[in-house]
Amino acid sequence: MNTTVSTATILMHCRDQRGIVAKVTEFIQNNHGNILQLDQHVDHEDGQFFMRIQWDLSEFIIPKNKIQDYFQTLIASSYDMEFKIYLSEDKPRMALFVSKMDHCLFDILARYQSKEWEVEIPLVISNHEDMRKVVEQFGIPYYCFPITKENKAEQEAKELKLLEDNDISFVVLARYMQVVSEDFINHYPNKIINIHHSFLPAFTGAKPYHAAFKRGVKIIGATSHYVTTDLDEGPIIEQDVTRITHRDTIDSLVLKGRDLEKIVLSRAIRYHIQRRILVYNNKTIVFG
Amino acid sequence: MNTTVSTATILMHCRDQRGIVAKVTEFIQNNHGNILQLDQHVDHEDGQFFMRIQWDLSEFIIPKNKIQDYFQTLIASSYDMEFKIYLSEDKPRMALFVSKMDHCLFDILARYQSKEWEVEIPLVISNHEDMRKVVEQFGIPYYCFPITKENKAEQEAKELKLLEDNDISFVVLARYMQVVSEDFINHYPNKIINIHHSFLPAFTGAKPYHAAFKRGVKIIGATSHYVTTDLDEGPIIEQDVTRITHRDTIDSLVLKGRDLEKIVLSRAIRYHIQRRILVYNNKTIVFG
Amino acid sequence: MNTTVSTATILMHCRDQRGIVAKVTEFIQNNHGNILQLDQHVDHEDGQFFMRIQWDLSEFIIPKNKIQDYFQTLIASSYDMEFKIYLSEDKPRMALFVSKMDHCLFDILARYQSKEWEVEIPLVISNHEDMRKVVEQFGIPYYCFPITKENKAEQEAKELKLLEDNDISFVVLARYMQVVSEDFINHYPNKIINIHHSFLPAFTGAKPYHAAFKRGVKIIGATSHYVTTDLDEGPIIEQDVTRITHRDTIDSLVLKGRDLEKIVLSRAIRYHIQRRILVYNNKTIVFG
Amino acid sequence: MNTTVSTATILMHCRDQRGIVAKVTEFIQNNHGNILQLDQHVDHEDGQFFMRIQWDLSEFIIPKNKIQDYFQTLIASSYDMEFKIYLSEDKPRMALFVSKMDHCLFDILARYQSKEWEVEIPLVISNHEDMRKVVEQFGIPYYCFPITKENKAEQEAKELKLLEDNDISFVVLARYMQVVSEDFINHYPNKIINIHHSFLPAFTGAKPYHAAFKRGVKIIGATSHYVTTDLDEGPIIEQDVTRITHRDTIDSLVLKGRDLEKIVLSRAIRYHIQRRILVYNNKTIVFG
């Protein structure tokens, strides 16, 4: 939380073996790192080990730009470990995709303007002009790429170029009403966060509020997940629900759902920004 | 709530027309009934009117056994209304079906023993012997009808006979692990309450906790519904959910789910006993 | 919901007596009003009757400006009834009071800009300059009245003048960090909505998140209520909660609380705008 | 979860110092223990370190009865650490105190009979005869100690003797309607679990549902906590809530509350049985 201290965070994953925790914590502590948070998880069924560890760098004797190298050599290689190191000074850079709805957009921009998150938002991309005024009101550049069946590949190529030019580290689809292509998704694996307006896996696809109304459920939900090439099937990051009754109409479901969507999406973004999420087997581990 | 006062409750349903509420309330009030609760609902899309009205009978001038006749003649016929009248003195009689799991069973029997509900439970039916001791511990007769593919029709016929002999008004499947036949269901339309151990329509069918675990949802649920001939597709009465994390195993989902199942089933039973539920278009209206 | 139809809504309250519902619905239906929604509630302990009834005016034969008079003469007087009539065409006019925090403010302005509510916001008042830019960004006039012990009465008088000039029907304190005076409150009885950042009556007064942290609760909440002259003791309109753990710090409670506060306050505002709330005995009846 | 494997669990607490995690995990892993779960928490404000670690004993080279000694000598002493070691084969032994209400009692006995928990319940103690039949129905000895102002000390002494004779490790007050004395509490520090029928710290003391009704809250709760000599002020273990409306009466609050109470109490008991709880500064750390 204290952003004045410089920290490193490792997310790691390997086959479960005796001695990993001792080895990793020893590496940090012997080199004068002070552990701020440690969370581990063992999937006993699959025999997999997962850990997130964050430490204070102020007295750490390995230079920041060498941590990756040393950790790989001294620890990761002998455990056949996958890992990523994040420094607190490297703020993630987020691109926001929107269409015509503004509730998630406003929620994100308000948090951004009040500096709730350690993130940069260099640009907003849309397939419509509708949200330009809202976005520019917050001083963020707005790019519009209208999509048709014919120009989709071409427009996405321009979008990808723009993301690259802006050094974007992850993408948020804030009720972006376009299916992004397989190629686009492959450029950002487990780095595109979507919000689906139902309690997945119930009511996949279009018009989930209509489907929920028709089925007569007593609770509706929203689901944020990483986008994969299987529509609405990516790893779930966060879900929440709210109670409804027979008095609710489709219109009132949409309204209640908007409050859910924005909160659930913003929570997922926060977990991602704080590097709390590991993906394994199309599921997420969200460290607390 | 006050069980010492004699009351009547009407659940009614017809096409929405001007003047119904005035007409019905006038009928009750002119005949010296004191309205205790009135709930109405209009489905504006389908143009349907629904109402539940409960009144104190202590000074009502129409004799109890004539209310049905008078209401039909004076009100219902001119509005082409479907309705049911329930007297507080006629306690519903519930048959409980169980298999090998005891959590819903215990929850129901404990409420029954402490007289939480205005209901009679003349018998428990099972396809296994396992719960006999638990049930008889509460002084309720236990009947065991083991079911095989071959004897199913025959056994269900015996069960139906037993239900009829005991003047059963509704059936509760408290984790009864058998699909009941179409014929059986047709004997008790919207009078068989089931508990499904998922947030329907997610994870229909067998092993929903396994499916939820595999999909990596962050919330699990339970759903009570009336049984129709479409498996897991009947009108939903009540649902509730609980939060899970990546640490949960299938075993812990089952344990957390048990607490949900018993509470959700017991709420549905309560609504049914209190005659709060109207079914329309495969959905329920549960008056508050 | 359908805003193209002209409707009237009555909120009424009197001693419980036989025949009220019939009389009121008859009045509407005889005069060719089509009832859209009817909710009543009887407090059997206190013998009080409450009702909200909304009807379509398109064929109503009493002119809009005479409904008040006719209802008073024909119905209310004989039941000693208190009531208010609201026409759908008279949008409530809301004044927003803020200090330095922007989360509730943004949430309200975003809903306003996307026309989620049938309301006008002619102005925002603050005791600080901080939010001027945010508010003017949305094209709403911003008035700043810094408050000191010495100038409080004088500044509040100016605020009241401004509210009157703008024909304000209700006031929302969106984390306004000033206690408003008894005189101010008396100008808007049950018309000032506040958001308190705790689950009242737990943690009244200042710094509720600090108090919650210290007590070690496992759930935090937020409460919207009408302001009365007893601080934090006014009628509660809406509450909601979220789960916390031992890992939460005061900072993270504040962040989680912000999401609660804005949702809970916006729900209360919606109920007020839709004229769903009756106040009795320092409690609210919020019709569904 | 797998109860066939023999495990050890340590709950430990000391001042935060560099190197603790490495030291402790090394101790386990060097001695051929396989870590099954590790959870740590650092209170950065107070500079306190907390950890729960559970490991598989099947290949552990230190004999079970020596672990305490070795851990004290090799680890705990140099960190000035408080700790407790629990072996999976030592089932906690729980004494249940009840009065006249049966909902928590039934819930606990049902879980006990279906072996949901790794616990022994050698006896139930009450100040009334009412629940004797229920308890004996489950084959558990029932002891009745009626309490008056005069005999309280004497009766509690008998109870304590009985607890000691039965080697009781913790006590559960399942809606036991008697304040236990300071002396009694001091025999079981942080080992007496109570359920209070409100969302503490709101509505302490007697009749919380009456108080909640009077205040007009929109949500009610239940709180399980360790009993300390300050009434209703002990460390909170678990809380949960449920939504209510203006339609609820005190009777219906009591009914809804019963479902909350039993679930919240049973969760707290489970955390205690699984040795997940550390108490510090009158607050609990409940490891996940």
Output the DSSP codes for chain D. --TTS-EEEEEEEEE--TTHHHHHHHHHHHTT-EEEEEEEEEETTTTEEEEEEEEE-TT-SS-GGGHHHHHIIIIIHHHT-EEEEEETTS--EEEEEE-S--HHHHHHHHHHHTT-SS-EEEEEEESSSTTHHHHHHTT--EEE----TTTHHHHHHHHHHHHHHTT--EEEESS--SPPPHHHHHHSTT-EEEEESSSTTTT-SS-HHHHHHHHT-SEEEEEEEE--SSTT-SPEEEEEEEE--TT--HHHHHHHHHHHHHHHHHHHHHHHHTT-EEEETTEEEE--
Query: Chain-wide mean pLDDT for chain C?
Result: 96
Chain A and chain B share a number of CB contacts under 8 A equal to 79
Q: Verify whether the Cβ–Cβ distance C38 to B40 is below 8 Å.
A: yes
Q: What is the pLDDT averaged over residues B238-258?
A: 97
pLDDT of residue C123: 98
ipTM rounded to 2 decimals: 0.95
Q: Verify whether the Cβ–Cβ distance B236 to A215 is below 8 Å.
A: yes
Measured between CB atoms, which of B1, B255, B259 is closest to D263?
B259
pLDDT of residue A247: 96
Give A252's pLDDT tier (boundaries 50, 70, 90). Answer: very high
Q: Is pLDDT of A59 > 70?
A: yes
Closest CA to B92 of B275, B278, B279: B275
pLDDT tens track for D2-53: 457 899 999 999 999 988 999 999 999 999 999 999 999 999 989 999 999 9
Q: Is pLDDT of B272 > 70?
A: yes
Q: Is pLDDT of B2 > 90?
A: no
pLDDT of residue C4: 72
Do residues C273 and C191 touch, judged by C-beta distance below 8 A? no
Helix (H) or strand (E) holding C137, with range, is helix C132-137
pLDDT of residue B122: 98
Chains that touch B (3 or more CB pairs under 8 A): A, C, D
CA distance A227 to chain B (A): 14
Token reading at B209: 């906790």
Which residues of D are catalytic, by number?
232
In the set B130, B232, B240, B259, the catalytic residue is: B232
pLDDT tens track for C209-263: 999 999 999 999 999 999 999 999 999 999 999 999 999 999 999 999 999 999 9
pLDDT of residue A167: 98
Measured between CB atoms, which of D18, D32, D37 is closest to A29?
D18
Q: What residue in C sits closest to A262 (Cα-Cα)?
A: C259
Q: Is pLDDT of C1 > 70?
A: no
Q: Verify whether the Cβ–Cβ distance B44 to C36 is below 8 Å.
A: yes
pLDDT of residue C3: 52
Share of chain A above pLDDT 90, in %: 95
Strand ranges inside chain C, DSSP E: 7-15, 34-43, 48-56, 82-87, 93-98, 120-126, 142-144, 170-173, 192-196, 219-226, 236-243, 277-280, 283-286
Q: Is pLDDT of B116 > 80?
A: yes
Measured between CB atoms, which of C19, C29, C44 is closest to B19?
C29
DSSP A8: E
Q: What residue in B sits closest to D117 (Cα-Cα)?
A: B255
Q: What residue in C sits closest to A255 (Cα-Cα)?
A: C116
CA distance D22 to chain A (A): 5
Which residues does chain D have within 8 Å of residue B110's beta carbon, measured at their own beta carbons?
A: 102-103, 106-107, 110
Give B1's pLDDT tier (boundaries 50, 70, 90). Answer: very low
Exposed / middle / buried, residue B205 (Cβ in 10 Å: 0-12, 13-18, 19+): exposed
pLDDT of residue D3: 52
First to last CA, chain D: 13
Do residues B175 and B277 touch, judged by C-beta distance below 8 A? no
Q: Verify whether the Cβ–Cβ distance B200 to A202 is below 8 Å.
A: yes
State the DSSP string of D151-175.
THHHHHHHHHHHHHHTT--EEEESS
Q: Verify whether the Cβ–Cβ distance B219 to A200 is below 8 Å.
A: no
CA distance B106 to chain D (A): 6
- Cβ-Cβ contacts under 8 Å for D48 (sequence gap 6 or more): D13, D14, D15, D16, D42, D280
Q: What is the pLDDT averaged over residues A23-52?
A: 94
A232 is catalytic: yes
In the set C16, C39, C130, C232, the catalytic residue is: C232
Q: What is the pLDDT averaged over residues C254-278?
A: 98
Spatial separation of the C-alpha atoms in residues D288 and D280, rounded to whole Å: 17
Measured between CB atoms, which of A18, A29, A40 is closest to D38?
A40
For residue C211, the one-letter residue type is: A
Q: What b/e string do you get for D140-151 counting C-beta neighbours within 10 Å, with b at 16 or more?
A: bebeebebeeee
Tokens 């650490």 identify what position?
D81
Do residues C102 and C126 touch, judged by C-beta distance below 8 A? no
| Beta strands C93-98 and C170-173, pairing class | parallel
Which residues does chain A have within 8 Å of residue D28's beta carbon, measured at their own beta carbons?
A: 22
Q: Is pLDDT of C288 > 90?
A: no
- Report how many helices (DSSP H) and strands (DSSP E) chain B contains, helices first: 9, 13
Give A181's pLDDT tier (boundaries 50, 70, 90). Answer: very high
Do residues A144 and A123 touch, judged by C-beta distance below 8 A? no
Q: Count CA atoms closer than 13 A to B136's CA, side-chain side.
A: 9
Closest CA to A156 of A105, A95, A91, A107: A95
Measured between CB atoms, which of C18, C26, C243 is closest to B22?
C26
Which residues does chain B have within 8 Å of residue D102's beta carbon, measured at their own beta carbons?
A: 110, 113-114
CA distance C43 to chain D (A): 8
Query: Chain-wide mean pLDDT for chain A?
Result: 96
Q: Count CA atoms closer than 13 A to B108's CA, side-chain side.
A: 34
First to last CA, chain A: 13
Q: What residue in D sits closest to A1 (Cα-Cα)?
A: D44
* Residue with the larger pLDDT of the pair D51 and C3: D51
Give pTM, 2 decimals.
0.96
Which residues does chain A have within 8 Å of residue D22's beta carbon, measured at their own beta carbons?
A: 22, 25-26, 28-30
For residue A229, the one-letter residue type is: T
Share of chain C above pLDDT 90, in %: 96
Q: Verify whether the Cβ–Cβ distance D106 to B110 is below 8 Å.
A: yes
pLDDT tens track for B148-168: 999 999 999 999 999 999 999
Q: Is pLDDT of C2 > 50?
A: no
Give B4's pLDDT tier (boundaries 50, 70, 90). Answer: confident
Helix (H) or strand (E) holding C214, with range, is helix C208-215
Token reading at C22: 């019939």
DSSP A92: -
Which residues does chain C have within 8 Å of residue D201's beta carbon, measured at their own beta carbons?
A: 202-203, 215, 217
Q: Verify whether the Cβ–Cβ distance B263 to D266 is below 8 Å.
A: no
pLDDT tens track for A150-177: 999 999 999 999 999 999 999 999 999 9
pLDDT of residue D288: 87
Query: What Å distances lie between residue B168 and A25, B83, C233, D18, CA to CA?
Result: 65, 20, 50, 69
Measured between CB atoms, which of B102, B245, B252 is closest to D114?
B102
Q: What residue in D sits closest to B264 (Cα-Cα)?
A: D259
pLDDT tens track for B182-215: 999 999 999 999 999 999 999 999 999 999 999 9
Helix (H) or strand (E) holding B28, with range, is helix B20-30
Spatial separation of the C-alpha atoms in residues A112 and C211, rounded to whole Å: 28
Q: Is pLDDT of A1 > 80?
A: no
CA distance C106 to chain A (A): 6
Share of chain A above pLDDT 70, in %: 99
Chains that touch D (3 or more CB pairs under 8 A): A, B, C
Q: What is the pLDDT averaged over residues A211-220?
A: 97
Query: Chain-wide mean pLDDT for chain B?
Result: 96
Q: Which residues, in sequence order, are bridge partners of residue B120?
A: B93
